[in-house]
Amino acid sequence: MLHCFQSADHRFDTRAHLFILLQQIRAFRRQYILTLFQGAVLVLQLVANANERVDALFETLEFVFKSRIDVLSHRLNIVGFA
């Protein structure tokens, strides 16, 4: 009933939507590039700090080995073999 009052020219609305869409696409591109750089930095940090993780693993194994030797030597002292 009120359709006759609507403007037949909707080009302005289309331009506004297209403008907003282009702005959003640019924002997503920038965000994507930023994410790529962050991923590259993360990978480089992981590679650079790999020796710290390996050292921590070996320190853990060394602690377990020494604690077992200490327990074994303590048992031998109690039994009287040493």
Please check whether residue 38 lies inside any domain of the structure.
yes
Please check whether residue 2 lies inside any domain of the structure.
no
Residues 76 and 82 sit within 8 Å (Cβ to Cβ): yes
Report the distance separating Cα 16 and Cα 1, nearest Å: 27
If asked whether residues 63 and 80 sit together in one domain, one would say yes
State pTM to two decimals. 0.43
pLDDT at 77 over 80: no
Total domains, the chain: 2
Report the distance separating Cα 71 and Cα 65, nearest Å: 10
Please check whether residue 3 lies inside any domain of the structure.
no
| Residue in the structure block whose two tokens are 């962050």 | 38
Q: Is the dihedral of CA 53, 56, 62, 68 positive or negative?
A: negative
pLDDT at 4 over 80: no
What pLDDT digit, counting tens, does each position of 12-47 carry?
566 777 788 888 888 888 888 889 999 999 999 988
Q: Tell me which residue range forms the domain holding 67.
A: 51-82
